[in-house]
Amino acid sequence: MHRVVAVAIGLASIATAAVVAAEPPAGAAACSGCHPSSPRVTSPVVRLAGRDRAEIIKAMQDFRSGARAGTVMDRIAKGFTDAEIQAIAAWYAAQK
Q: Which amino acid is at 83?
A: A
User: Does 83 help bind ligand HEC (rule: CB under 6 A)?
Assistant: no
Radius of gyration, alpha carbons of the chain: 16
Q: How far is the CB of 85 from ligand HEC (least distance, A)?
A: 7
**Closest C-alpha to 83, from 61, 50, 52:** 61
**Closest C-alpha to 29, from 70, 88, 73:** 88
Taking CB under 6 A as the binding criterion, the range among 4-12, 13-21, 54-62 that sits at the site for ligand HEC is 54-62
Taking CB under 6 A as the binding criterion, the range among 1-9, 12-20, 30-38 that sits at the site for ligand HEC is 30-38
66: Cα separation from own chain's centroid? 20
User: Does 70 help bind ligand HEC (rule: CB under 6 A)?
Assistant: yes
**What are the residues binding ligand HEC (CB under 6 A)?**
27, 30-31, 33-35, 45-46, 48, 56, 59-60, 70-73, 76, 88
